[in-house]
Amino acid sequence: MEFTYERKINYYETDRMGVVHHSNYIKFLEEARCAWMEQMGIPFSKLERNGITIPVLAVNCEYKHHVTFGDTINIKIKIKEYSGVRMTVEYDVREKNSGNVVIICQTKHCFTNMSLKPINLKKHEPNFSKKFEEAYKIIE
């Protein structure tokens, strides 16, 4: 399933130079990831009700082009790796009108219980795992 999250840049997200501050992109990725998971039918609230969390283990971003207040970005998400215990998500972020690549990022995650002990989603919650597997297989 290809998923694109569209987001307009707010003034308060820019720095003194008028461009989006680099730290805000991490927030944008999380917004997109939450919307993507909601579309898949497994919003974070549902995961948490089932005793599951998905902490971020690592973030890697390459900043390619700046965006400013009023610009709109499109964030395309795909699963690069999925094992049931860990997952790597890739993001292609582009400015909507120009198509310029703004950032290319990856986030690495693991699945845990509410005590942050790693779990295998395939065993713990197979229905959720199946949705991630389907999203991963479409990209392969």
Which residue among 6, 8, 15, 39 is the active-site one?
15
| Gyration radius of the chain's alpha carbons | 16
How remote is the C-alpha of 4 from its chain's centroid? 10
Protein fold of 3-139:
Thiol Ester Dehydrase; Chain A (3.10.129)
Q: pLDDT per residue over 67-103, tens digit each? A: 999 999 999 999 999 999 999 999 999 999 999 999 9
Does the annotation mark 71 as catalytic? Answer: no
Q: What is the pLDDT of residue 138?
A: 56
The SS3 assignment for 53 reads strand
What's this model's pTM, rounded to 2 decimal places?
Answer: 0.91
Q: pLDDT per residue over 22-75, tens digit each? A: 999 999 999 999 999 999 999 999 999 999 999 999 999 999 999 999 999 999
